[in-house]
Amino acid sequence: ITGISQHLSGIAVSIHLSVTIGATFMSFTMIGNISTKLLIGFLSDLLSPIKAVIMMILINCLSLILLFLGVINKATLYIGSLMFGSIYSVGAVGIPMLTRYFFGNENYARTYSVIGFLTNVGSASSLTLIGYLYDFTQSYQIVFIIALCFHLINLILLVIICLRYNGVGDK
């Protein structure tokens, strides 16, 4: 999902806006990136790492919907771009927090090395896959739909893990 931000200029051009506006979308995303990384840490301390990550994923879902609907007006795209920065808080802060939460300090290094590798492979390959999807469909709309599906899968898996971790469902 993080690969979408690299395509914001292309997204702007695909809906008949200038590359400069697309670059502004990227600037808004980076502002969202910084602010939500701080926010997720605060929310984690206030609520819990699980709730903080879920909130950031939901914010990112809303951003994808706004970007999907962005052809309505530029303001929707600016807001969606700002909120899209929340995806970086999940990858850079949320996943390490959840790894420590579920695996503890003793198993953190061994476990996170595998998780970090897999998330980086996914992030790196997403740039190319998004480009191919655009080439095949001449639209970025399918990218937003697929990203929302990935978020749904991630939320379901996180709920299942939480239920198992808290002993709910064990017989």
Span 3-57, pLDDT tens digits: 999 999 999 999 999 999 999 999 999 999 999 999 999 999 999 999 999 999 9
| Cα separation, 19 vs 43, whole angstroms | 35
- Please check whether residue 62 is in contact with residue 170, taking contact to mean a CB–CB distance below 8 angstroms: no
Indicate the SS3 state at residue 61.
helix
Q: pTM of the prediction?
A: 0.91
pLDDT given at position 79: 95
Contact 16, 73 (CB under 8 A): no
- pLDDT reported for residue 167: 54
Least confident interval from 58-72, 113-127, 157-171:
157-171
